[in-house]
Amino acid sequence: MSVIGANVCPECGALRASAQARCWLCERKGSAAIGAVVNPYASPRPIGENSPLQFSIASLLLITTLVAVCLGVFLQSPGLGIFLSVMTLPAVIRTIIDVAQRKRGGVGLGVIGKAWSFVVSLIVVVAAAVAAGVAFFTVCSVGLMAGQASGPGPGAFGPDPFVWVIGASGVAALASAVGLFWLTRPRA
């Protein structure tokens, strides 16, 4: 073993400036004490909590399985495969955020916990899609009934009431979906 100064990372042995808080090579946080005894030939230890974007092989296999299921459904029924992919993508993103926040909070999730987090995220995505659909059709129906009640003529809703109703319905649908995602966002 040799004595290495504070300008060398204790994890990987890379040279670094004394003012750096992280190693530029292995992204290790913190600094080594001056005169620490380190084996320069030792393999680097796992970075664990030092890396914010780290995933396990189990997570990779879960994502691969989900992609394989979506592709299999797409090959059998393209419409259903597209629908399944559109519904699972936000659920996967929400699950990744949930797992990262729980890990940052000190609570790691295993494979079963990640699967349950995905199921909950999928339920939230389905609920947001239903809320967006209900908001769209409600505003669309009310707007079209109001347009029909006022009748055609000058000053009735502008040049084309259908365009305004569809626009307002889209805004209502987007607002309800974003609001539901915001209310059910993962918290640490």
Per-residue pLDDT tens for 37-60?
566 676 666 555 555 566 678 778
DSSP structure string for 22-49: B-TTT--BS-PPTTEEE-TTSPPPP-GG
pLDDT exceeds cutoff 50 at 132? yes
Give the separation between CA 115 and CA 180, rounded to whole angstroms.
Answer: 21
Give the separation between CA 65 and CA 123, rounded to whole angstroms.
Answer: 19
Q: How confident is the model at residue 1 (pLDDT cuts 50, 70, 90)?
A: very low
Please state the domain extents for the chain.
Answer: 1-54, 57-183
Query: Which contiguous run of DSSP H or E holds residue 3?
Result: strand 2-4
Q: What is the pLDDT of residue 38?
A: 61
pTM of the model: 0.58
| Residues 148, 181 contacting (CB under 8 angstroms) | no
Q: How confident is the model at residue 161 (pLDDT cuts 50, 70, 90)?
A: low
Q: How confident is the model at residue 62 (pLDDT cuts 50, 70, 90)?
A: confident
